[in-house]
Amino acid sequence: MKFQRKAFQDAKALILSEKPLYSAQFEERIASLIPALESSIDSFETYLSAYQHCSELRNVGMFYLHITENNAIPVNAIDELSGSYEVIGSRAGVMVIAQNEKMFTEAYKSFGNSPRLLGIVLESDLNADSSFKEQILSSWQKFETLQKLTAVPREEMDFILRISTRFDHTDVLSRLTNIITAKLDRNWYDDLVIEASPALLTLPEQQKWVLNNSPSLSKINQALEVYKNKTVTELISSKDDELVIRAVFTAHSIYEHVKLGDLNQFLDQITKGSSSFSATLTRIIAKEKLNILELFSEEKSRIAA
């Protein structure tokens, strides 16, 4: 499973179990097997302490809830624990860990229809370290997908993509953007930017009204506007933190030079003298140059056919 270190930076998680030592041991296993998540997760043995923690931090959105036959955790625990996180419009996620088959069935009855549910697993399914790590990473991947779909529902994204294809070959630009951003460390919001940017960058200004009903897409568009007048040299050499946005703009600049017919020369120009000490985007483009050229060679052949 693909591992993105940045994915663990924007939301906190907690494990709640009233079984003595279970939550602390759960946290210790995460620290050992997934070190990048260590600082993002806390463990609790009482509902009250977990609730106080969530209310104070306000960014706890991922929950590992361990339920046993002696469980005293309220049925509506996730509703209350996630309140501070969801008030900003995000969606909390919960992975339920059931002590046995009986509690698995009870968990399904309680959480089966919840939009927050990321999965229900048996406690015994997590015994092996390999299974434990896979389940935790899988739950976080599902959590990130949940954040994306909450921010921009699939129908909204598909609508923007359909509109933009009337004006340009955004599918090709999307493939180019994916080549350049594939190995960047990113989170769910970065993935949203990567998916939406080809459409937003090619959508004519007079068509931007379609963003009026999508606050998240409007926010991404505003972030892109900041870099609109940057030269490609500024984009690839900048030292600021907006690496993903600079990457998608760089992809767009490369695409524009395809239209001008000087792609090879342009790539040579921006990667000249590239080394291990060069800026991140310069090194990526130098490394992916052949793939970029091949992409547009394939596109020319497709159009010609």
Q: Tokens representing 288?
A: 């992916």
Where does residue 146 fall: left (phi above 0), alpha (psi -120 to 50 degrees), or beta otherwise?
Answer: alpha
Query: How far does CA 103 lie from the centroid of its chain?
Result: 31
Span 100-114, pLDDT tens digits = 999 999 999 888 888
Flag the least confident range among 24-33, 118-127, 197-206: 197-206
Indicate whether 36 pLDDT > 60.
yes
Q: In the CATH hierarchy, which fold is given to the domain comprising 5-151? A: Rossmann fold (3.40.50)
> In the chain, what percentage of residues exceed pLDDT 70?
91
Strand-pair partners of 120: 96
Q: What does the alpha-carbon distance between residue 104 and residue 71 come to, in Å, rounded to a whole number?
A: 13
Do the beta carbons of residue 235 and residue 252 sit within 8 Å? no
Coil/strand/helix, residue 182: coil
For residue 295, the number of C-alpha atoms closer than 13 Å in the C-beta half-sphere is 21
pTM: 0.77
Q: What does the alpha-carbon distance between residue 59 and residue 155 come to, in Å, rounded to a whole number?
A: 27
Confidence band of 303 (pLDDT split at 50, 70, 90): very low
**Residue range(s) in the chain whose domain bears CATH number 3.40.50.2300:** 5-151
